[in-house]
Structure 1
Amino acid sequence: MISATDLPIRAWRKSSYSGQNGGNCLEVADDHTATTLPVRDSKNPHGPVLLFTDQAWTAFLAHVRDGQPDIR
């Protein structure tokens, strides 16, 4: 399992869909590599990180924008 401390990331940014109330927030690191996008839980900044390919992240965002977040 990869943790946030294992990656040489300078800055994480919170999702624009995350509220300011400390709820379910995602953070992404845009400066990692050209082929992967690290994603972490903002409430657990030293915890596990998910790595998405560009294609997988684009597909995920398309499903969310279409109102279909229940991806199986």
Structure 2
Amino acid sequence: MTSIDTKPPYGQWFKSSYSGDASGNCVEACRQPGAIHIRDTKCKDEAGAPVLGFTATAWSRFALYIGGNR
């Protein structure tokens, strides 16, 4: 597994297309060269809120897996 830097600044965050407005169960993503960062929308303004970081390769494999292309 490759570790990536998850320290700010991250860049432009966008809400997942699968997140709804009513449920409050939303995640946001931020693309950077070679990396994807994910955070919980409800916690985005909290100092020190957790952010998950993935290499672009790891994220692509994860997305393919959950999309059914195993």
User: Which moved further from structure 2: 18-27 or 35-44?
Assistant: 18-27
Instruction: Mark the runs of 5 or more structure 2 residues left unpaired by the alignment.
Output: 1-5
Could you tell which deviates more after superposition, 44-53 or 21-30?
A: 21-30
Q: Is the partner of 2:43 in helix, strand or coil?
A: coil
Identity of aligned residues (%): 37
Q: Which runs of 4+ in 1 moved over 3 A?
A: none
How many residues are aligned here? 62
TM-score scaled by length of structure 1: 0.71
**In proportion to residue count, which structure has more strand?**
2
CA RMSD of aligned residues (A): 2.2
CA separation of 1:67 and 1:43: change in aligned 2, threshold 3 A: farther
Structure 1: state its 5+ residue gaps: none
The residue type paired with residue 59 of structure 1 is R
